[in-house]
Amino acid sequence: MIVRQRTHWLKMLFVWRGSVLKKTIVQLLAITMFSLAIYIFKGKIFDYKVHLNPTIFTLIGLALAIFMGFCNSASYDRYWEGRKLWGLLVNETRSLTRQILTLVNNSSPDAKKEKQEIVKLISAFCWSLNYELREKSGNEHLLRLLSPERVKQLDGKKFIPNIILGFIAEWLNEQNKKGNIDTIVLAQMDHQLNQFSNIYGGCERIHNTPLPFPYSILLHRTVYLYCFWLPFGLVDTLEWMMPLIVLLISYTFIALDAIIQEIGEPFGEEENDLALNSICRTIEFSIFEQAEISQSELPKPSSYFID
């Protein structure tokens, strides 16, 4: 995801990175060349003059704009809900870490190290959720955060974040049996784990339930049919300006169609998707600082600094 301060209006006209223009430039060039051909041949196809009233395109354009507005709202809702879920995850990881460090009254010599291992499990949960949503393995993060025994237990598992939550729950139950936390505190910390599960389930729902395909295909077809028929309706009224106006209108509709498709899948790795790696790093730095875990002791995988 690209986050930048608003720049000068002139610079904004030429921004490339983060723009969907790179996805749509071929289509726009094709429509422009088609419009030029229509202008040269005065709207004729094999000596047949295609008469299309511009009013038709006004009505269709209005209906298309309303439908695109609906699809854009649906896509942005998915994007914003994904961001809220990951924002909630940041808060919940910090809360659970604080509870582990302050409410677990473990007086053994290895208590601090034991708690730090659980904090690493919390970070591993976030990274594994990140990579599950992006349909990648994420083993490099598991290897640097978990013990070899834990990694072996996760081998071959599909829903790794859920297994990691089980590891944390087992440790909390063990601490309760040892008398290090009472039942009331255990119930509160179990509630935190339930919040993790709710976030996990919410992200899975967004990832596994895309926008209904009929909406996407109808919008896509209508946009391109509209743009390719538009030159016939404007050639007689706009003459040599027609290709430029068609290009402007096509850019608006085709770019918005591309944006709808892009933000409708917020957990991908495109420039305008959610910066999950950055959020995971924020969580890791934050909770490791709470637990006094040195970042320098952990190796940094190749994907650590890339979103």
Q: Is pLDDT above 80 for 304?
A: no
Q: Which helix (H) or strand (E) holds 66?
A: helix 54-103
The average pLDDT across 284-290 equals 94
Q: Output the CA torsion sign for 226, 34, 22, 252.
A: negative
| Residue 193 clears pLDDT 90, i.e. is over it | yes
Return the pLDDT at 123.
Answer: 95
Q: In the predicted model, is pLDDT for residue 272 greater than 90?
A: no
Identify the DSSP state of 296: G
Mean pLDDT for 110-138 is 91
Q: How far apart (Å, rounded) are the C-alpha atoms in residues 104 and 99? A: 7
Residue 150 burial (10 A CB sphere; 0-12, 13-18, 19+): middle
Q: Tell me the average pLDDT across 256-285.
A: 90
For the stretch 73-87, pLDDT in tens is 999 999 999 999 999
DSSP labels, 210-269: -S-HHHHHHHHHHHHHHHHHHHHHHHHHHGGGHHHHHHHHHHHHHHHHHHHHHHTSTTSS
Residue 26: what pLDDT?
93
Most distant CA pair in the chain, distance? 93
Cβ partners under 8 Å of residue 284, min gap 6: 123, 126, 127, 295
Q: How far apart are CA 307 and CA 304, in angstroms?
A: 8
Q: What is the tens place of the pLDDT at every residue in 146-178?
A: 989 999 999 888 899 999 999 999 999 999 998
Task: Name the band, by pLDDT with cuts 50, 70 and 90, for residue 9.
Answer: low
Q: In the predicted model, what is the mean pLDDT of residues 111-120?
A: 91
* Confidence at residue 8, expressed as pLDDT on a 0 to 100 scale: 66
Higher-confidence position of 1 and 54: 54
| Residue pair 293/97 in contact by the 8 Å Cβ criterion | no
> How much is the pLDDT for 298?
64
Q: What band does 293 get if pLDDT is binned at 50, 70 and 90?
A: confident
Tell me how far apart the alpha carbons of residues 304 and 161 are, in angstroms, rounded to a whole number: 18
The mean pLDDT of 14-37, rounded to a whole number, is: 86
Closest CA to 243 of 231, 255, 225, 233: 231
Who wins on pLDDT, 8 or 270? 270
Q: Model-level pTM?
A: 0.86
Q: Is the pLDDT confidence value at 99 over 80?
A: yes
For residues 141 and 17, the model is more confident at 141
**CA nearest neighbour of 290 among 128, 138, 123:** 123
At residue 109 the predicted structure's pLDDT band, cuts being 50, 70 and 90, is: confident
User: Can you give the pLDDT at residue 20?
Assistant: 80
Residue 3 has pLDDT above 90, yes or no: no
- Reported as a pLDDT band with limits 50, 70 and 90, residue 307 is low
Given a cut of 60, whether residue 142 has pLDDT beyond it is yes
Lowest mean pLDDT among 202-206, 222-226, 289-293, 297-301: 297-301
Residue with tokens 């139950």: 173
Which pLDDT belongs to residue 224?
A: 93
